[in-house]
């Protein structure tokens, strides 16, 4: 706010929390498009005797969650909780 910094890169959750905590809501805004996206990965040893099975089940479970709409419900619920905490 003193004109020393043009931008700061943090994840959306930390950024939103900091804006609220510092009382800067409405004065500082996030970019509409993220600068980057971060993915989560499952790592399974190639030598694990059931590695292929675990990987298949993980992928099948994620696919089932997405196809059923449950994935979106879970994401909305958790994002809703986060947004409520900001207010």
Q: State the Cα–Cα distance between residues 37 and 17, nearest whole angstrom.
A: 19
Contact 86, 17 (CB under 8 A): yes
Mean pLDDT computed over 44-69? 96
Prediction pTM value? 0.64
Contact 65, 74 (CB under 8 A): yes
Q: State the Cα–Cα distance between residues 15 and 55, nearest whole angstrom.
A: 33
Going by pLDDT thresholds of 50, 70 and 90, the confidence category of residue 66 is: very high
Share of the chain above pLDDT 70, in %: 100
Per-residue HEC secondary structure of 50-79 comes to CHHHHHHHHHHHHHHHHHHCHHHHHHHHHH
Going by pLDDT thresholds of 50, 70 and 90, the confidence category of residue 77 is: very high
Mean pLDDT computed over 19-41? 88
């Amino acid at each position: 706010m003193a004109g020393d910094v043009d931008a700061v890169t943090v994840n959306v959750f930390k950024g939103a929390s900091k804006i609220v905590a510092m009382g800067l809501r409405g004065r500082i805004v996030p970019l509409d498009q993220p600068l980057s996206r971060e993915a989560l990965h499952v790592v399974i040893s190639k030598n694990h005797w059931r590695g292929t099975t675990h990987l298949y089940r993980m992928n099948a479970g994620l696919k089932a969650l997405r196809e059923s709409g449950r994935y979106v419900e879970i994401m909305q619920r958790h994002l809703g909780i986060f947004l409520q905490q900001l207010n």
